[in-house]
Structure 1
Amino acid sequence: MQTFLMLAILLSLVASLILLLVFHDMKIDNRKWHMNIAIFVFLFLLVNALAYSYEAERGKPAYFQMPDVSLWIWWCIVGVIDGLLIWEGFWLHRTRKEKIRQNSIKEAMNVLPIGICYFTEDGYVKLCNEQMYRLFQTIAHRDLQKQEELKEALCLCERYGVSRINNKEIYLFPDGKAWSYRENEVTDRKGKAYTEAIFLDITKKYEEKINLTKQTEQLKEIAKELRYLSDNVLILTREREVLAAKTKLHDQMGAGLTAIRQSLTQENADDKEAVRLFRHAVNAIWNDNQYPLEEGDFERFLQDAKTLGVEVVCVGDLSESEELASICILAMRECLTNGVCHAGATELSIKMQNENHQYSICITNNGAAPDKEIVPKGGLYNISRHVFDYGGEMRIQSFPYFALTITFQEERA
């Protein structure tokens, strides 16, 4: 019985030692730690006392004599201790699943889709996940040991097919994935500083950006074509209105010829009005034949106005910007044809000025005032679109007289 008791105590002693080591690794609270130390010491002393008692029974000298207690009492004590150790074993098994340990942190980091690594102040790896090791292996074809190796590999990443995008911390790997790299300074609870290096997978955003760039280029081409078509529509509209005005002059010429014929066949006929209309039409045709084909757009506009019998009073100079000057000339032509066809204008006033960081042009005529509020459509609408495209502002005044005002900021002009 004593031999079996010693064997049971030895097994309990081994179990207690294992629990002590596990508690130390898991950093269990001090109460359980001290309790298990006391159990271990008690079992160690008990097994030694039984050994000395066993030697004394065999007639050998013993330095320690067991108290005269029944072995069943010692069996009960050891049984209670074993039950306590078994309970602690089950509690420890359940706690190990729930408690965060160093291995748990390492396993959690390996699950992360990002590459992350922590370097000490000396630049050595403190904690690194598998994704970071794989990325560094692709960049440098060796294992990561120090922070300097990572920086050097990023500078020379093109050696192994990894390209840096637009000189930013974005790297395109051979497998087609794009990773963004960044570094942060972090400290632990004790105030010790570490460098955090992170690779973030931005492949989806990178592909979306490429697709968006392609779509933007396509939209620019479409917008360019639409602007070209719109300009052609505007030119055709202007030419149609100029043609209508010239047709009106030809009609006046015909009316003048008819009036002159009637004055020749009738006595005391007033032929002054007929001669005036005829002379006006002949001058218009002559001016049209003198069209300056090799001159600029503004000179051609002045010639068209002269052909239509409209005097242009111009104050100020055109903008030095070709785009804005072209828009202003389009507005002049539109006001010219509208003034002749709808208001019977014979004079067009144009005032251009560049002051207070703004370039503006105001166009009026001496024709009849509009019957109702003018709503931009046709040529005026196309001009407004051009003005807005260049960051300008267009205002139309209908009463008490017509006035078109266009304003551009100086930095755009």
Structure 2
Amino acid sequence: MSELLASGAFFRIALMGLAALALLFEVFLSLELGLQRERPGLRAARFAEFFIGFYLLGAFALLLTVHCRGYAGTEAVAPLAPWRWLAAVPLIFLGAVSRRPADLSGAFFAAASLPCFDRARFFAPLFVLGLLFFALRAAWRDARERRERRRSVTRASIKEALDRLPDGILFSDPAGRPVLANRQMLLLAETLTARPLRDGEAFWQALNGGALREGVERIALADALLFRAGGQSWEFSRRLLDVKGRAFSAIFAACVTETDRLTRELQKLHEELAARAEALREAGAALAAVKREQELARLQGRIHDMAGHRIYLMQQYLQRGGENLRDLGRFLPLISGLIDDLRADVTAPAARLLADLQRSFGFVGVELTVEGRLPRDERQAAALIKILREASTNAVKHAGAARVAARLERNARGLVMRVVNDGTAYDAAAPLRENQGLAGMRRLAAEAGGTLEIATSPRFTVTVKLPPEENEA
């Protein structure tokens, strides 16, 4: 103690500042422990910190007395002896009971500062080290307790964590009283119902079918409710929880703005696709109808070209001498070959079709001559033969021709076939009516990539122009 009494004023003031700092840290630590919930050992820790603070308060009073009275001697601090004993003895007892290094160190410094050691040479150094020890100990424990409190799960920490959630949560007891509601759910209650959240059951009833704020859109889903308000979409669901035999209610609100937007866009796309699919079905049905009509027209044209041609030739054969049936061998092929001609018109080579055509006209005494070479392209050759057959049949039928001549010529623009006959001249004053036969010849020429022209004077002439063959182009 004599060293402290003999020290300078600056040193004594520094020691008082150290004692005040240690006492301040101890106050912070005691407040931190007071804010924490009950846990094992917390009450004993609070009790120990109280005595440490009591000890530091006595140490500060001792230093203040020393500073004020200076060299008055140890008698100046004698009135503080009971306080010093009362503050140090509990610390010594607690250190001996706990046997933890920090508590044992505190007990050692408290014992070294007892009034009975005032005249010892180690009193002043150990007293100063004790103040420094208690200051550092209080600061370290205060920081540790604050860190532990932030990490620990408490009612306040749970409420703080729930308030940070972007979704809404509400727990209410069987009577409907809210037990726990986060900030987002409180805001949603105000936004949707224009009323504060005071009853969980009433809030759920209002969501299901009650009055809502103007502009709020409500959509009932399979097991939830969807609300759209203020450019946001919220999905509400409810669960009943059994807590010790009591039915608590839990209401959850999830922000589904982006999901709802994508769902509506997908629904709109689905409707557009459905409309387009319906339009495609209608177009397909119309196309199928057109295709059927085209197929019927093609079949009708084939029957007209082949069957009409054969039937007319049989009529001519009978009219020109076949009534006695003496030449039955020439008549029967006209009848039996009708179906074969319909099939051959699709599959037979062009040369065979031309030979059959010339032979069939020969049965009725009509000479059909072809000058020039048919194209190598079977499609073009077949089209020319079909046009020649129709033109020859029309010449015999309408002009009474006995001779039909076809001439095939090639030039830079392609192939040209001209068909003329020696029948009766066409009446130029009469309008030319394009019946099924003429229309069929134009269709055949177009399908082969060419054109068909008809001249009525000086003789009736059918001219077909086709593009060059691929190997000649």
TM-score by length of structure 2 reads 0.47
- Name 1:23's counterpart in structure 2: 33
- Mean Cα deviation higher: 111-120 or 96-105: 96-105
Are residues 1:236 and 2:284 paired?
Answer: no
Asked if the contact 1:16/1:85 (under 8 Å) is kept, the reply is: yes
Are residues 1:261 and 2:271 paired?
Answer: no
Asked if the contact 2:167/2:252 (under 8 Å) is kept, the reply is: yes
Superposition pairs of residues 70-85 of structure 1, within 5 angstroms: 70=118, 72=124, 77=130, 79-85=132-138
Asked if the contact 1:182/1:198 (under 8 Å) is kept, the reply is: yes
- Name 2:193's counterpart in structure 1: 140
- Between the aligned partners of 1:28 and 1:84, the Cα distance in structure 2 is 22
1:225 aligned to which of 279, 286, 289: 279
- Name 1:311's counterpart in structure 2: none
- Name 2:167's counterpart in structure 1: 114
- Between the aligned partners of 2:84 and 2:188, the Cα distance in structure 1 is 68
- Between the aligned partners of 2:56 and 2:313, the Cα distance in structure 1 is 146
> What are the superposed Cα offsets for residues 24-83 of structure 1, whole Å, 9 maximum, x if unpaired?
4334854465244124236548968999xx9x98999x9999553417466665554344
Paired residue secondary structure (1:173): strand
Q: Are the structure 2 counterparts of residues 257 and 10 from structure 1 closer, same or farther at C-alpha, using a change threshold of 3 Å? A: closer
Asked if the contact 1:182/1:197 (under 8 Å) is kept, the reply is: yes
User: Which runs of 5 or more structure 2 residues have no equivalent in the other structure?
Assistant: 6-11, 66-74, 86-114, 339-473
- Between the aligned partners of 1:88 and 1:134, the Cα distance in structure 2 is 40
Displacement of 1:7: 11
- Between the aligned partners of 1:225 and 1:65, the Cα distance in structure 2 is 101
Q: Are the structure 2 counterparts of residues 210 and 76 from structure 1 closer, same or farther at C-alpha, using a change threshold of 3 Å? A: closer
Asked if the contact 2:220/2:226 (under 8 Å) is kept, the reply is: no
Are residues 1:212 and 2:260 paired?
Answer: no
Displacement of 1:163: 1.9
- Name 1:37's counterpart in structure 2: 47
Asked if the contact 2:23/2:56 (under 8 Å) is kept, the reply is: no
Paired residue secondary structure (1:160): coil
- Between the aligned partners of 1:40 and 1:141, the Cα distance in structure 2 is 51
> What are the superposed Cα offsets for residues 6-36 of structure 1, whole Å, 9 maximum, x if unpaired?
9988986675455234224334854465244
Q: Are the structure 2 counterparts of residues 227 and 83 from structure 1 closer, same or farther at C-alpha, using a change threshold of 3 Å? A: closer
Aligned length, in residue pairs: 274
Superposition pairs of residues 133-172 of structure 1, within 5 angstroms: 133-154=186-207, 155-166=209-220, 169-172=224-227
Displacement of 1:205: 1.7
- Between the aligned partners of 2:230 and 2:271, the Cα distance in structure 1 is 27
Are residues 1:174 and 2:229 paired?
Answer: yes
Which one-letter code corresponds to 2:188 in the other structure?
A: L
Are residues 1:68 and 2:116 paired?
Answer: yes
Displacement of 1:121: 4.3
Paired residue secondary structure (2:116): coil
- Between the aligned partners of 2:142 and 2:82, the Cα distance in structure 1 is 35
Superposition pairs of residues 11-410 of structure 1, within 5 angstroms: 16=26, 18-27=28-37, 30-31=40-41, 33-41=43-51, 44=54, 68-70=116-118, 72=124, 77=130, 79-154=132-207, 155-166=209-220, 169-185=224-240, 194-250=248-304, 251-266=306-321, 268-270=326-328
Displacement of 1:200: 0.9
- Between the aligned partners of 1:272 and 1:120, the Cα distance in structure 2 is 105
Displacement of 1:233: 2.1
User: Which runs of 5 or more structure 1 residues have no equivalent in the other structure?
Assistant: 279-413
Asked if the contact 1:20/1:33 (under 8 Å) is kept, the reply is: no
Q: CA RMSD in A?
A: 4.5
Asked if the contact 1:144/1:150 (under 8 Å) is kept, the reply is: yes
Displacement of 1:96: 4.4
Asked if the contact 2:172/2:249 (under 8 Å) is kept, the reply is: yes
- Tell which structure's C-alpha radius of gyration is larger: 2
- Between the aligned partners of 1:191 and 1:75, the Cα distance in structure 2 is 62
- Mean Cα deviation higher: 240-249 or 194-203: 240-249
- Between the aligned partners of 2:162 and 2:39, the Cα distance in structure 1 is 26
Paired residue secondary structure (1:165): strand
- Between the aligned partners of 2:23 and 2:239, the Cα distance in structure 1 is 49
Which one-letter code corresponds to 1:216 in the other structure?
A: H
Q: Are the structure 2 counterparts of residues 143 and 275 from structure 1 closer, same or farther at C-alpha, using a change threshold of 3 Å? A: same
- Between the aligned partners of 2:39 and 2:246, the Cα distance in structure 1 is 24
Which one-letter code corresponds to 1:198 in the other structure?
A: F
Identity %: 22
- Between the aligned partners of 2:57 and 2:290, the Cα distance in structure 1 is 115
Displacement of 1:137: 0.4
- Between the aligned partners of 1:233 and 1:63, the Cα distance in structure 2 is 115
Displacement of 1:122: 3.9
Asked if the contact 2:28/2:142 (under 8 Å) is kept, the reply is: no
